Each structure stands twice: as C-alpha cells, then as structure tokens.
Amino acid sequence: MQRLVSLSLASSLSRKLSGTAAAASTSSFLGHSRLCGSSTVARPSRAELGVSLRRSFFSGDAPWRVQARNAPVSAHSSALLRSLLERLVNSGAGFYRAPSPFSSRSGFSGSFDSYRRGWKSWFRRLTNDNVVLGLIIANVAVFMLWQIADRSFMMKNFTISLDNIKSGRLHTLITSAFSHMTMEHIVYNMIGLYFFGYNIGRNFGPEFLLKLYLAGALGGSIFYLVHHAFMRLQSKGQGMFSVDPSRMPGLGASGAVNAIMLLDIFLFPKATLYFDFIIPVPAILLGIFLVGKDVLRIIKGDSEISGSAHLGGAAVAAVTWARLRKGRF
C-alpha cells in the first residue's frame, strides 16, 4: 500500500513563497527530506505554507493532486509548483511500500518460527513412556470406534484401499495404521509395539520412535497399494479374485510395528528373542523368518494377512538402519 500525498495550494502561496531564496530553500527541503516514523525533521508549519496533507487509502485519484482554493495561481507560482512536485516525485519523499507479510520485519516469519520452536520444545518434553502409551491408547480408541461407530464411516476413513485413495481420502494412509477390528489383531501388535518400542525409544529418543512409527505406517500403506494395483492389473478380465483388488480394504499397525521391531533386530542381531514368547532364538534368525514368511504370503496370495504391508515396514526399517550406520540420524 502506498501513502498518497495530496497538496492543496492556497491563494496566499505566491505571496509567502515569492523570492528566489525562499523558493530554493523550500525546494531543497521537500526534495531531500524523507517521511520516516522514527525521525523528525524541522519544517514550516501548515499555516505558514498554506499546505494541507491528506492521507487517502482507497482513493482512485493520482498519487498526488493540486487544488486551488481561491484565485488562479500566477505563471511564476505554477512553474515553482511544478518544480517542487518534480523534486518531490523524483526523490520519492512521502512514498513507501508496505512491508511484505512474509518479511522478518512484519512479524509473520517470527510468529512461524516461534510456532515451530513450540512444537520442538513439546517434542523435547515427551518421554518414552508418553509416546509408547500414547500410541497404544490411540490404537485402542480406534478399536473401540469399530465397535460403536457406523461401519461405512470406519471403512471409508480407517482402512486403506485403492478406492479410498482414488476418492481422495489420503488420510487413510496413516489412519489405517491405528485401526484394528479384532481383539487378537490389536493385542499382538500392541505387545510388539510395547516391548520393541521401548527399546528403540531408550536408544534414540521418543521423537525418533514416533517418526519411525508414522514412517512404517506410510511405508506399509504404500506397499499395500502397489501390491493391490499389480493384482488388479493381473486379474483384469480373468476373474482371478472373488473381490476386486482395488476394493480390498487393509488395516492394522503391522507395518508400523514391523518397522520398529525389525530395526531393533537389525541393530542388535545377536540379542535373544522369544518366538511366540516361548522359544529363544537369535534376533537375526527371527528377522529372517518374519521377512521370509511375508514373502510367502504374497506368493500364495494370502487374503487374510497382508505380507506386502509387513514388507513395507521392513523396507522402512532397512532404510533407517542404513542411514543410522552412515550417521545421518
């Protein structure tokens, strides 16, 4: 927005400004002064010059205008006035651009920086217990929603499928990783999240754990969609599946939990883990068994458990492990 300066010349201007010295001094004053809010410059009063300054924000007139109050101005005064206005316009006095809302002076970027710092400080205050228990509570809350909410609403907003993505429900890439329909499904996933999540959180912090969970959820959803898109192309016109693969819904935290569990296995391959809570095995053997089993599920076309979503979590774990080895986290 620009400040518009309007000059009104009274009939007494020719008498007050007559004389070469007065004209030169007034011209010099107007040509070199700057209107700044932080500094003040001594200048003749409005009564002495007969000049009226008006600020107009929505006027459609030119940036400056001259209005005679009474009698016409002499040729000498008109020439003097034109000289004054030329100097005024050339010097840029009284004209300035409002600062951009994205500049540091406007305060916008400062507010954004403080907002970002607030989130970072909130993350720093989180503990390992907060993140692990918070994720478990979120999963249990969605599980309870499946028991009481409208089934159509839950299918549209808490399951992953090609149809949901085509319909613009991109949030299901994440929300499906908090969604379980059966008690057995949620119990197994939450047990894995509890034990392996605590170990990852102790070593890398709660923020890292939360990001790893979300990355595993996203990776599992993407692998699931790619697998079902391939299945749909493969079965086009052949009727290989009783249900259109693009409409097959997927849900569960398995991809996210797999990312956490396999990263722990990659980092501590010689640790002893208990298969089915009973049989002690080296961690690396358990990891190989889990990945191999998911590959077999894909080959056999298992429609109950999605091996592709599990492998998406495994891929996130492998990428994270490689970056940790290179010191990029």
Separation CA 313–CA 306 (nearest Å): 12
- Contact between 264 and 272 under an 8 Å Cβ cutoff? The reply is no
In which element (H, E) is residue 312 found?
A: helix 307-325
Residue with tokens 């068994």: 289
- Contact between 255 and 216 under an 8 Å Cβ cutoff? The reply is yes
Separation CA 139–CA 175 (nearest Å): 10
310 in active site:
yes
Determine how many CB atoms are found less than 10 A away from the CB of residue 204: 18
76 in active site:
no
- The secondary structure of 227-294 as a DSSP string is HHHHHHHHTTTT--SSS-GGG--B--SHHHHHHHHHHHHHH-TTSEEEETTTEEEEHHHHHHHHHHHH
Tokens of 98: 């409002």
In which element (H, E) is residue 55 found?
A: strand 54-56
Determine how many CB atoms are found less than 10 A away from the CB of residue 289: 12
Q: Which residues contact 241 (CB under 8 A, 6 or more apart)?
A: 231, 235
Considering the candidates 6, 254, 306, 308, report the single residue annotated as catalytic.
Answer: 254
Residues with active-site annotation: 254, 310
